[in-house]
């Protein structure tokens, strides 16, 4: 057990240094604009070669953000709506997290985690999402050893925010109304 600085066993000191180095790497500012490029692919604006949703499907979106996000037409329309309100960062973060969960390579996962953190989580990030301090703290701790679930708490908070705030505004918008005409 690690007690007091002078009494720290060698393994505790090594572990503390390792954590400090990993956090330092994670929290580094990008050195060039190239570092700001997000390595994951954005979804196309307009769905290609997919069937337009039925009225029943579109009506289900009012009550289920998940059903909306699973439908290519719904997702594209929701994204266009959010862009029109200059509030697409929440959806982009959610989508980045979904792509991140699919990564198998630990090296690629660590690299992508750093990019997502710098783009959406860190203070003054270019597309900073609105999450509380506690959620940011948990996320940073999770990123010491990146795993597919590193962003789960933050992603769930953003999902809840979109469900409570963005979805009702979308349902009232002309973007949605064209689906239920």
How far apart, in whole angstroms, are the C-alpha atoms of residue 37 and residue 53? 33
How far apart, in whole angstroms, are the C-alpha atoms of residue 65 and residue 78? 10
Q: Which two tokens stand for residue 155?
A: 């992603």
Whether 152 shows a pLDDT value over 60: the answer reads: yes
Whether 32 shows a pLDDT value over 90: the answer reads: no
Q: 104, 83, 105, 107: which is closest to 166 by C-alpha?
A: 83
Question: Could you read off the pLDDT of 37-72 as tens digits, one per residue?
Answer: 334 444 434 444 467 888 999 999 999 999 999 999
Query: How far from 179 is each of 2, 88, 128, 174, CA to CA, in Å?
Result: 61, 20, 31, 9
Q: How confident is the model at residue 11 (pLDDT cuts 50, 70, 90)?
A: low
Q: Give me the sign of the Cα torsion angle 133, 92, 29, 21.
A: positive
Give the residue with greater pLDDT, 131 vs 10: 131
Question: Could you read off the pLDDT of 90-146 as tens digits, one per residue?
Answer: 999 999 999 999 999 999 999 999 999 999 999 999 999 999 999 999 999 999 999
Q: What is the pTM assigned to this prediction?
A: 0.71
The domain limits of the chain are: 55-178
Do residues 169 and 161 lie in contact, with contact meaning Cβ atoms separated by under 8 Å?
Answer: no
How far apart, in whole angstroms, are the C-alpha atoms of residue 150 and residue 153? 8
Displacement of CA 107 from its chain's centroid (Å): 19
Instruction: For residue 87, give every residue at least 6 positions away whose Cβ sits within 8 Å of its Cβ, in sequence order, or none.
Output: 166
CATH H superfamily, domain 55-178: Regulator of G-protein Signalling 4, domain 2 (1.10.167.10)
Q: How confident is the model at residue 12 (pLDDT cuts 50, 70, 90)?
A: low
Quick one: three-class SS letters along 69-133?
A: HHCHHHHHHHHHHHHHCCCCHHHHHHHHHHHHHCCCCHHHHHHHHHHHHHHHHCCCCCCCCCCCH
How far apart, in whole angstroms, are the C-alpha atoms of residue 95 and residue 27? 22
Maximum alpha-carbon separation in the chain: 72
């Amino acid at each position: 057990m690690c007690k007091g600085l002078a009494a720290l066993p060698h393994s505790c000191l090594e572990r503390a240094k390792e954590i400090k180095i990993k956090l330092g790497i994670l929290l580094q500012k990008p050195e060039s604009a190239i570092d700001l490029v997000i390595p994951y692919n954005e979804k196309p604006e307009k769905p290609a070669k997919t069937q337009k949703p039925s009225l029943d499907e579109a009506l289900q979106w009012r009550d289920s953000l998940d059903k909306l996000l699973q439908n290519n037409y719904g997702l594209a329309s929701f994204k266009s709506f959010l862009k029109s309100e200059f509030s697409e960062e929440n959806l982009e973060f959610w989508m980045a997290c979904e792509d991140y969960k699919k990564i198998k390579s630990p090296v690629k996962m660590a690299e992508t985690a750093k990019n997502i953190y710098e783009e959406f989580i860190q203070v003054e990030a270019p597309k900073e999402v609105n999450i509380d301090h506690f959620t940011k703290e948990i996320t940073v701790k999770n990123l010491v050893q990146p795993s597919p679930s590193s962003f789960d708490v933050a992603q769930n908070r953003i999902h809840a925010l979109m469900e409570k705030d963005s979805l009702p505004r979308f349902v009232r918008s002309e973007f949605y109304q064209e689906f239920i005409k």
